[in-house]
């Protein structure tokens, strides 16, 4: 697809698992995309954006994948398998039973549906494994394996994961560290070939079905946009088989903000870009080559990570003591030139704990009827196990063996003092992440060490940090340009970046230069540094952008309007002061129409938000229509389903007309 030829269009974001047809088994399947594309064409929607569809096993988050290449068996149409034509009565009965059971679920059960579908697939495989084995030896499957060499690592990894009760590869009894030669030896082991071929057979079938669905979408004149998560799950085939291209001692995440005061620790390793550059980023190029079999455009999740990533120790739960990688460090030499001696460097880089504060934490927060002796015993445990005294002062440091929040928990201290120590662990001006190399912690201005500085010393320190920031910005710009250039030049797909968060000034410049579309979420695209934090007018949205009023990690427009929005300010912004306070199709039409007028190349709406243009598809509780609630782990997240079959929604002429009207809205002029 010629990137520059892509016209301004309306798009819809929908998780594959959310689709509902008569042929599904409790969850959307790749084959359902063709029927959904037909509906989109009637609505004059030109782009379908989906969430990642790689295999995540029994983990429901699509951003926690077991593989960068393999597709999720959850989305397989069992009745679409070539071998289904010879399926026996047992298989057909199980499918009917599963379909009847799961169809009544308002949200799909990731675990239950996947377990049942894999069980049925195993029955079909067992009945056809002789023919599948022949095909793998010298037939169509053999050719497919040759064209998809990644599947060998994946199949070996998946078999080992099953043998080890689905545990992380780090907890396996054997083969938790392997070489490529050892993986190949396991693949060649004839005793294991039957199990390996099961996973290969599934992947070939998924590839065939997804490719066919993609062709149906393009044949309908639509674009399919995939989602390429930047990071990989630590427990993934890729980290297991290619450890050299990752830095596993650090965990990626996001720095603290108003929504996450301790930041976000995603638990994923960061990339070793230097190692990847040695083989010309072959792993990334392979990812893109696989993705372009299905997609004409792709969303680069957390594009900021290609410039610099927020990383914290894997020994911490939070990421409050994270740091940017790369970053030009403050060194011991820098601090000495500012007049810091060894003791003062220790003061700004290590938490100092007064004896009295430990006792206060225990006495004030102890609760219950406890004696002084019991409190003293708890304090003694803290002082002997976790802390070391500073000379003869009533002041303590954490013991050197404590490297993070998880180490504090190992001592099983009383909750009151445990919580106190967790807070003190973050109380420092600098994080010394390597000997003599320091990073200013996110809340360094709130630290006791910073507040104790004189105004003159603070000014000198701030000037030093400003220099390091500017130098780091240049490094981020160069790295982002290098890595994203590889992405752009390696694939004909149109790249769209998710550039939310604390965005360095270099990011929009690099994206514009490489003609990568950025993301503009209406509720968050505001002049945050101005009084009243006004919304940015739609005529000022960059043409090289995707405009959307809601994303999978946010509330829907309906929930935002009824529970979160400053209705008066937003109504004034769009010039409709009489906008109803209760969300209804009229309210939806006004808000979505205004969003559709943005100058952005793509105007993408979640399917839930489009459905609200009709009275027929409102859930009783707007919270039920969310895809994900960040910072929570439960069976609710990532399991959204359409409120009805696609075929039933396609009969809603009011909806079809209203969405088609959005597609005709021209961009506002500057």
Q: What is the pLDDT of residue 366?
A: 55
Q: What is the rounded CA–CA span in Å between residue 224 and residue 607?
A: 15
User: What is the biggest distance separating any 2 CA atoms in the chain, rounded to whole angstroms?
Assistant: 83
Q: Which of 70, 35, 38 is nearest to 52 (CA)?
A: 70
Q: What is the rounded CA–CA span in Å between residue 136 and residue 193?
A: 10
Q: Which of 441, 440, 447, 346 is nearest to 393 (CA)?
A: 346
Q: Which of 539, 538, 540, 534 is nearest to 548 (CA)?
A: 538
Q: What is the rounded CA–CA span in Å between residue 232 and residue 120?
A: 29
Q: Are 450 and 415 in contact (CB under 8 A)?
A: no
Q: pLDDT tens digits for 245-275?
A: 999 999 999 999 887 899 999 999 999 999 9
Phi/psi of residue 94, each to 5°?
A: -65, -40
Residue 247's contacts (CB-CB under 8 Å, 6 or more residues apart) are: 269, 270, 271, 272, 311
Instruction: Please state the separation of Cα 325 from the chain's center in Å.
Output: 18
Q: What is the pLDDT of residue 5?
A: 58
Q: Where are the beta strands (DSSP E) in 203-317?
A: 223-228, 246-254, 264-271, 297-300, 309-313
Pair of tokens at residue 36:
């959904």
Q: Are 316 and 398 in contact (CB under 8 A)?
A: no
Q: Which of 57, 37, 63 is nearest to 498 (CA)?
A: 63
Q: Are 168 and 234 in contact (CB under 8 A)?
A: yes
Q: Are 366 and 375 in contact (CB under 8 A)?
A: yes
Contacts 24+ apart (CB under 8 A), 126-131: 127/83, 127/86, 127/87, 127/88, 128/83, 128/86, 129/194, 129/197, 129/198, 131/83
Q: Are 56 and 64 in contact (CB under 8 A)?
A: yes
Measured CA to CA in angstroms, residue 2 lies from 5, 495, 547 at distances of 5, 12, 21
Preceding amide of 326 cis, omega within 30? yes
Can you give the pTM of this predicted structure? 0.94
How many H-runs (helices) and E-runs (strands) does the chain carry?
25, 18
Give first-to-last CA distance, the chain, whole Å. Answer: 29
Q: What is the pLDDT of residue 3?
A: 58
Q: Please report which helix (H) or strand (E) contains residue 323, including its range.
A: strand 323-325
Between vectors from CA 143 to CA 137 and to CA 146, what angle results, nearest 5°? Answer: 100
Q: What is the rounded CA–CA span in Å between residue 449 and residue 440?
A: 12
Any idea which residue has 């994961």 for tokens?
161
Q: What is the rounded CA–CA span in Å between residue 661 and residue 670?
A: 22
Q: What is the rounded CA–CA span in Å between residue 480 and residue 484?
A: 6
Q: What is the rounded CA–CA span in Å between residue 51 and residue 54?
A: 9
Cα torsion 214, 217, 222, 226: sign: negative
Q: What is the rounded CA–CA span in Å between residue 336 and residue 351?
A: 20
Q: What is the pLDDT of residue 363?
A: 77
Q: At what angle do helices 193-219 and 110-138 cross, to 10 degrees?
A: 100
Q: Which of 14, 2, 53, 37 is nearest to 548 (CA)?
A: 14
Pair of tokens at residue 397:
């440091």
Q: What is the pLDDT of residue 4?
A: 54
Q: What is the pLDDT of residue 321?
A: 96
Buried-exposed string 141-167: b where 16+ CB fall within 10 A, e elsewhere: beebbeebebbbbbbbbbbbbeebeee
- With the CA atoms of 620, 622, 625 and 629 taken in that order, what torsion angle do they form, in degrees rounded to the nearest 10? -140
Q: pLDDT tens digits for 50-68?
A: 999 999 999 999 999 999 9
CA-derived radius of gyration, the chain: 28
Q: Which of 362, 354, 365 is nearest to 387 (CA)?
A: 354
Q: Which of 525, 527, 507 is nearest to 517 (CA)?
A: 507
What stretches in the chain show pLDDT beneath 50? none
- DSSP letter, residue 526: B
Between vectors from CA 562 to CA 559 and to CA 568, what angle results, nearest 5°? Answer: 130
Three-class secondary structure of residue 305 per DSSP: helix
Q: Are 224 and 233 in contact (CB under 8 A)?
A: no
């Amino acid at each position: 697809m010629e990137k520059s030829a892509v016209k301004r269009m309306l798009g819809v974001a929908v998780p594959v698992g959310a689709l509902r047809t008569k042929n599904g088994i409790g969850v959307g399947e790749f084959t359902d995309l063709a029927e959904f594309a037909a509906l989109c064409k009637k609505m004059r929607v030109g782009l379908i954006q989906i969430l990642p569809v790689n295999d995540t096993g029994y983990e429901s988050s699509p951003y926690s994948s077991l593989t960068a290449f393999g597709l999720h068996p959850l989305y397989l149409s069992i009745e679409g398998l070539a071998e289904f034509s010879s399926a026996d009565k047992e298989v057909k009965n199980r499918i009917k039973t599963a379909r009847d059971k799961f169809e009544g679920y308002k949200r799909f059960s990731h675990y239950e549906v996947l377990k049942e579908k894999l069980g049925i697939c195993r029955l079909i495989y067992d009945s056809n494994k002789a023919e599948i084995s022949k095909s793998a030896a010298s037939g169509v499957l053999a050719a497919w394996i040759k064209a998809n060499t990644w599947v060998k690592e994946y199949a070996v990894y998946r078999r080992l994961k099953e043998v080890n009760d689905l545990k992380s590869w780090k907890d396996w009894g054997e083969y938790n560290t392997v070489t490529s030669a050892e993986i190949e030896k396991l693949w060649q082991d004839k005793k294991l070939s039957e199990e390996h071929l099961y996973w290969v057979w599934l992947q070939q079938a998924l590839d065939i079905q997804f490719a066919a669905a993609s062709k149906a979408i393009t044949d309908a004149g639509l674009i399919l946009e995939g989602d390429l998560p930047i990071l990989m799950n630590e427990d993934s085939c890729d980290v297991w088989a290619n450890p050299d291209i990752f830095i596993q001692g650090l965990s990626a995440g996001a720095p603290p903000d108003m929504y996450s005061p301790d930041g976000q620790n995603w638990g994923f390793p960061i990339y070793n870009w230097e190692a990847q550059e040695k083989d010309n980023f072959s792993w990334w190029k392979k990812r893109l080559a696989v993705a372009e079999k299905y997609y004409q455009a792709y969303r680069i999740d957390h594009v900021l990570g290609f410039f610099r990533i927020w990383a914290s120790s894997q020994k911490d739960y939070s990421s409050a003591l994270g740091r940017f990688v790369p970053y030009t460090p403050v060194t011991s030499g820098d601090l000495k030139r500012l007049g810091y001696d060894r003791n003062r460097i220790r003061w700004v880089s290590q938490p100092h704990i007064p004896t009295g504060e430990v006792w206060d934490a225990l006495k004030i927060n102890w609760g219950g009827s406890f004696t002084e002796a019991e409190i003293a015993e708890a304090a003694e445990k803290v002082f002997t196990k976790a802390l070391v005294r500073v000379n003869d002062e009533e002041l303590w440091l954490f013991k050197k063996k404590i490297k993070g929040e998880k180490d504090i928990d190992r001592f099983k201290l009383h909750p009151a003092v445990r919580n106190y120590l967790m807070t003190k662990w973050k109380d420092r001006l600098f994080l010394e992440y390597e000997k003599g190399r320091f990073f200013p912690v996110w809340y360094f201005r709130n630290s006791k060490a910073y507040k104790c500085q004189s105004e003159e010393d603070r000014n000198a320190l701030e000037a030093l940090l400003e220099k390091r920031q500017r130098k780091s910005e240049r490094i981020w710009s160069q790295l982002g340009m290098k890595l994203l250039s590889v992405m752009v030049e390696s694939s004909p797909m149109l790249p769209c970046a998710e550039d939310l968060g604390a965005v360095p000034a270099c990011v929009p410049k690099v994206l514009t230069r490489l003609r990568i579309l950025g993301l503009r979420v209406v509720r968050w695209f505001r002049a945050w540094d101005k009084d009243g934090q006004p919304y940015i007018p739609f005529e000022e949205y960059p043409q090289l952008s995707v405009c959307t009023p809601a994303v999978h990690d946010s509330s829907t427009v309906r929930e935002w309007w009824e529970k979160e929005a400053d209705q008066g300010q937003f109504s004034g912004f769009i010039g409709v002061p009489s906008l109803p306070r209760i969300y209804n199709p009229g309210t939806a039409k006004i808000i979505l129409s205004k969003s559709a007028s943005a100058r952005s190349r793509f105007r993408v709406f979640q399917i839930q938000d489009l459905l609200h243009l009709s009275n027929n598809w409102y859930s009783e509780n707007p919270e039920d229509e969310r895809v994900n609630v960040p910072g929570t782990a439960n069976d609710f997240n990532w399991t959204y389903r359409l409120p009805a079959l696609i075929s039933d929604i396609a009969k809603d002429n009011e909806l079809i007309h209203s969405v088609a009207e959005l597609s005709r809205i021209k961009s506002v002029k500057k």
